[in-house]
Amino acid sequence: DQQVKQNSPSLSVQEGRISILNCDYTNSMFDYFLWYKKYPAEGPTFLISISSIKDKNEDGRFTVFLNKSAKHLSLHIVPSQPGDSAVYFCAASPINTDKLIFGTGTRLQVFP
Amino acid sequence: KAGVTQTPRYLIKTRGQQVTLSCSPISGHRSVSWYQQTPGQGLQFLFEYFSETQRNKGNFPGRFSGRQFSNSRSEMNVSTLELGDSALYLCASSLEPLGTSGGYNEQFFGPGTRLTVL
């Protein structure tokens, strides 16, 4: 049972344009949502997080939006750069637990 | 400050064997979590250790076990290996467990150990 879903396995975007990565979840008991970025042969690196009490969090070129009624979150990258090419995982943390539940990832390719 | 280190980086085993993977967290970090990454399932939580105690466990069979030492270093053991255990095993450390302090404690991941079971 996949509680966190990333339905798009890949996304291709032109440099300078906006990249939108989507994530859906089924458990309403998540209190934190996070995005991680992963390059080949490296571990995931934390990008940005959002608490369930907020609907938007922004950090430089990265903005995460949370729509609790739709159980949906998205990561916007503006403007996209070739160095953003990587696999992006969304993750959610259930309330009062110490674990993260990850989605299956979306491979983003930013081309010149 | 050194990051999370995992040894070995690559490992090849045969079915039925057992394997032990090691993780050294960032200095000062006391919480260590383990994840399994496979192409079809993404990253799946295995377990978390804090102060030498397992705090949480994912949905994996008992063949998967772990422990944490007093210096916060952690090991993960898989016994009676199966072909389906081939995966990238990632370790992540954080200052405190995720669910404490009323907020989120950022996890830092190591590069992983690539296990291949033949």
Q: What is the pLDDT of residue B42?
A: 78
| Distance from C-alpha of B83 to C-alpha of B14, rounded to nearest angstrom | 8
Inter-chain CB proximity A41 and B111 less than 8 Å: yes
Q: How far is CA B96 from the centre of its chain?
A: 16
Which residue of chain A is at minimal alpha-carbon distance from B109? A43
Q: What are the C-alpha distances in Å from A71 to residues A82, A87, B98?
A: 30, 22, 21
Given a cut of 50, the residues of chain A with pLDDT beneath it are none
Closest CA to B35 of B9, B11, B66, B62: B66
- Burial B73-109, CB ≥16 within 10 A → b, else e: bbbbebeebeeebebbbbbbbbbebbbbeeebbebbb
Q: Are A74 and B76 in contact (CB under 8 A)?
A: no
Which residue of chain B is at minimal alpha-carbon distance from A42? B111
Q: What is the pLDDT of residue B76?
A: 97
How does pLDDT run across B17-28, given as a tens digit for each residue?
Answer: 999 999 999 999
What percent of chain B is predicted at pLDDT more than 90? Answer: 71
Which residue of chain A is at minimal alpha-carbon distance from B10? A41
Q: What is the pLDDT of residue A43?
A: 85
Looking at the DSSP assignment, which residues form a beta bridge with residue B58? Answer: none
A52 touches chain B (CB under 8 A): no
Whether residue B39 has pLDDT greater than 80: no
Confidence of residue B1 (pLDDT cuts 50, 70, 90): low
| Distance from C-alpha of B7 to C-alpha of B22, rounded to nearest angstrom | 5
Q: Are A29 and A36 in contact (CB under 8 A)?
A: no
How does pLDDT run across B102-113, given as a tens digit for each residue?
Answer: 456 678 899 999
B35 touches chain A (CB under 8 A): yes
Average pLDDT over residues B46-71: 92
Name the minimum distance, in Å, from the CA of B58 to any CA of chain A: 8
